[in-house]
Structure 1
Amino acid sequence: MLKLALLEMRKHQFARFFGYAAIANVGILLFLLMIGLVDWGAEDYAFKTFPLSFMLIDTFSRATFIIFAGALLSKLVISEYKNKMMNVMFTYPIKRHKIIAAKLIIVFLFTFFMIMFTNLLMGAILLATDHFYHFIPSELTGNEALQLLIKYTISSLSAAAMALIPLLFGMRKHSTTTTMVSSIFLVLVVCSGVNGPSVSINSIIVIPLTLGAIGLWIASLSMVRLETKDVN
């Protein structure tokens, strides 16, 4: 499976996607900086506390890389069905479900690690900036930092799993457009807020866990259907 995943990454010149992810990180940083400057002095300042600050960072990270995952699904899976390349791959002496599994593992791991990396990077920048300018009145204790790390690790895992949900819609007519629209719609649902900016849909733990389970179920379903509808 590892060899298949590495071959897929080489075939699609996967290194360039890390470059795109770096550009996305710069965009996230600029958005956070803009929010911090425009919102400065407001009663509901977005960076009023560390938990609020990290929730905002995680929201931007998940939104960006769930959509990014939709683009990867379109490139690695949907497009290859559409241009019949997948039919050629299925003639190889490799079990069909392993070919799809390798592609989905790449999408899952890339999404998880990029969300985690972005959370840690933006969090480090936030802490460094606050060290010099002290715009967050509270202090981040070691215990709070550990709790936030565990919380957002779980959040990243669930986001990476739910990012596979658009595969269900994209596979119906092998449409890359449908896949991308589904990813954007998913972001609008899971990254929205309730009761103002201090509470996010993602903070209701049952929702991201349920959506993550659905994403994994869809991934397994796509492999089960290989022998029937999807290869016709």
Structure 2
Amino acid sequence: MLKLIQLELRKHRFAGYIGGAAIANIVILLFLIMIGLVDYGAEDYSFLNYPVSFILIDTIARATFIIFGGALISKLIISEYRNKTMNVMFTYPIKRHKIIAAKLIIIFLFTFFNILFTDLLMGTILLTTNHFYSFIPDALTVNEALTLLVKYTISSLSAAAMALIPLLFGMRKHSATATLVSSIFLVFVVCSGINGPSVSINSIIVIPLTLGAIGLWIASMSMIGLETKDVN
């Protein structure tokens, strides 16, 4: 499986996607700076305290990389069905479900690590900036930091799993458009807020866990169905 993953990474020149993720992080940072400057002094200030600030950061990170995950599904799986290159790959002396599993593992890990990395990077920048300018009055204790780390690690895992949901829509007619549109729709659902910035849909823990389980189920069903419907 590891060799299959390595072959896929080289085949699709994955360094370019890592560069794209880096650019996305720069855009996210600029967006957060803009929010901080524009909303400064407002009653519902987005950086009122650390919990609200990290909800904002995590929401933007999940939205960005769930859509990124949809783009990867379109590139690594859907486009290969449309171009018939998947049929060629299925002639190799490798079990078909392993080929798809390698692609899905790449998508899952890429989405997970980028969401978590963005959360950590933006959180570190926030802490460093606040050390010099003190726009957040509360202090972040070690216990609170560890709690946030665990919380957003779980959030990143569930988001990476739910990022596989657009595979269901893309595989119906091997449509890249359907894959991306469903990714965007998913973002609107899971990244929407309730009662302002302090509470989001994602904070209702059963929702992201359920959607994550659905994403993993869709991935497993796609591999099981390879011998029949998906290959025809």
- Correspondence for 1:33: 33
For the pair 1:3 / 2:3, whether they are aligned, the reply is yes
CA distance in 2: counterparts of 1:188 and 1:90, whole angstroms: 36
Q: Deviations over 1:166-193 (max 9, x none)?
A: 0000000000000000000000000001
Residue equivalent to 1:84: 84
Q: For residues 229 and 96 of structure 1, what CA distance do their matches in structure 2 show?
A: 13
TM-score (norm 1): 1.00
Supply the distance in 2 between the matched residues of 1:55 and 1:2 (Cα, whole angstroms): 35
Tell me the residue number matched to 1:221: 221
Which residue does 1:94 correspond to in 2? 94
For 1:174, the equivalent position in structure 2 comes to 174
Query: Considering only aligned residues, what root-mean-square deviation do their CA atoms show, in Å?
Result: 0.4
Q: What is the CA-CA distance between 1:198 and the residue it aligns to?
A: 1.1
2-structure distance, mates of 1:14, 1:116: 19
Deviation for aligned residue 1:196: 1.7
* Aligned partner of residue 230 in structure 1, secondary structure: coil
> Contact 2:58–2:119 at 8 Å: present in 1 too?
yes
- Contact kept in structure 1, 2:159 and 2:212, CA below 8 Å: yes
Q: Distance in 1 between matches of 2:82 and 2:223?
A: 17
Which amino acid is 2:184 matched to? I
Equivalent position of 2:200 in the other structure:
200
| Residue 136 of structure 2 is aligned to residue 136 of structure 1 | yes
Aligned to 1:117: 117
1:135-174 correspondence runs (5 A): 135-174=135-174
CA deviations 1:101-155 (Å, max 9, x no partner) are: 0000000000000001000000000000000000001000000000000000000
Maintained 8 Å contact 2:44/2:196: no
TM-score normalised by structure 2 residue count? 1.00
Tell me the SS of whatever aligns to 1:48: coil
Q: What is the total number of aligned residue pairs between the two structures?
A: 232
Aligned to 2:103: 103
Runs of 4+ deviating beyond 3 Å: none
C-alpha distance in 1 between matches for 2:112 and 2:2: 17
1:36-51 equivalences under 5 Å are 36-51=36-51
Q: Which one-letter code corresponds to 1:69 in the other structure?
A: G
Question: For the Cα contact (< 8 Å) 2:162–2:216, is it kept in 1?
Answer: yes
CA–CA separation in structure 2 for the residues paired with 1:48 and 1:114: 25
Distance in structure 2 (CA, Å) of the matches to 1:13 and 1:150: 32
Q: Structure 1 stretches of 5 or more lacking a match? A: none
Unaligned runs of 5+ residues in structure 2 are: none
Q: Structure 1 CA distance, aligned partners of 2:231 and 2:10?
A: 24
Letter in 2 for 1:157: L
Percent of aligned positions that are identical: 80
Amino acid in structure 1 at the alignment position of 2:49: T
In the other structure, the counterpart of 1:68 is 68
